[in-house]
Amino acid sequence: MTLPASQTDNGAAPIIVVADLRKRYGDIQAVDGVSFSVGKGEVFALLGPNGSGKTTTVEIVEGMRTADSGTATVAGIDVGKNARAVKQIIGVQLQSSAFFEHLRLSELLMMLGSIYGIRVDPEPLLDAVELLDRKASSFRTLSGGQKQRFAIAASLVNDPAVIFLDEPTTGLDPQARRHMWELALRWKAEGRTVMLTTHYMEEAEELCDRVAVMDQGRIIALDSPAALIDDLIGRGFQRTQQVRSATLEDVFLDLTGRSLREM
């Protein structure tokens, strides 16, 4: 079952509305008539193989790329006409982020706040991603996982209504990954909207109210994870291997604990 693009699972009014979005790079139609909406307080994912068009779609919604045609609005603001206003109310965590490597983490967050014209207390932001004890450390001294978590803290500087996460748990160990899941659910409870891309299907199933599956620039399915799974089973799908009630990741977390660890 696929819901209409204008319908949201949680009954909330859409805060993101994308209509007939198209983007071409030479002979490649990267985005081909994509339409969907995301409700306020919803966790929504774009899923798809590499080259499916999901990253280009998200970057257009964020105001980082310009669509050839179609529209995208965030909180009623047309991204194509006023990308600057949209960027004031969203937070963006990129898979690869560049920061001034020799600045302290607290200094970086205060500097980012100054870009938005606001004063920032870095401690709550760092505490949210469990980096408070590294506030005086320079960015270059962080591990890969710590840099990923700092990028998430940086995305919260302007207290955004919508948070975009690009494969937020890539390269994280199981503890940090579960911590990221808890953060996303906390933002949802606060009424924020989270839009993410991920290659981890269990992550999407755990976090998302709805997912849109993209392939060759088009959305080929859009519904809740449970509804999409039920639809597949209803069409006669059966696993060739029995699913156990626990996974190796569950074993790992049981043996090592769920708290974050630092070197």
Instruction: Name the residue ranges covered by the structural domains of the chain.
Output: 14-256
Can you give the pLDDT at residue 7? Answer: 46
What's the DSSP call for residue 51? T
In the chain, how long is the greatest CA-to-CA distance? 57
Residue type, 113: G
In the CATH scheme, what is the homologous superfamily, with its name and number, of domain 14-256? Answer: P-loop containing nucleotide triphosphate hydrolases (3.40.50.300)
Residue type, 181: W
d(CA 263, CA 260): 10
Quick check: 63 and 83 in contact, CB under 8 A? yes
The encoded tokens of residue 224 equal: 């809740």
Neighbours of 98 (CB within 10 A): 8
Strand pairing category for 77-78 and 90-93: unpaired
pLDDT band at 6 (very low <50, low <70, confident <90, very high): very low
d(CA 28, CA 133): 47
Q: Please provide the distance, in angstroms rounded to a whole number, between the alpha carbons at the two ends of the chain.
A: 47
Which residues 6+ apart lie within 8 Å of 32 measured at CB? Answer: 22, 53, 216, 217, 218
Can you give the pLDDT at residue 98? Answer: 76
Going across the sheet that includes 28-39, the strands are 28-39, 14-25, 69-74, 77-78
Quick check: 68 and 21 in contact, CB under 8 A? no
The encoded tokens of residue 237 equal: 């799908």
Q: Hey, is 82 helix, strand or coil?
A: coil
Residue type, 55: T
Model confidence over 93-151: pLDDT tens digits? 876 667 888 899 999 999 999 988 899 999 999 999 889 999 999 999 998 888 888 99
Neighbours of 109 (CB within 10 A): 24
pTM above 0.85, yes or no: yes
Model confidence over 135-181: pLDDT tens digits? 999 999 998 888 888 999 999 999 999 999 988 888 788 888 888 89
The encoded tokens of residue 5 equal: 């693009």
d(CA 200, CA 164): 16
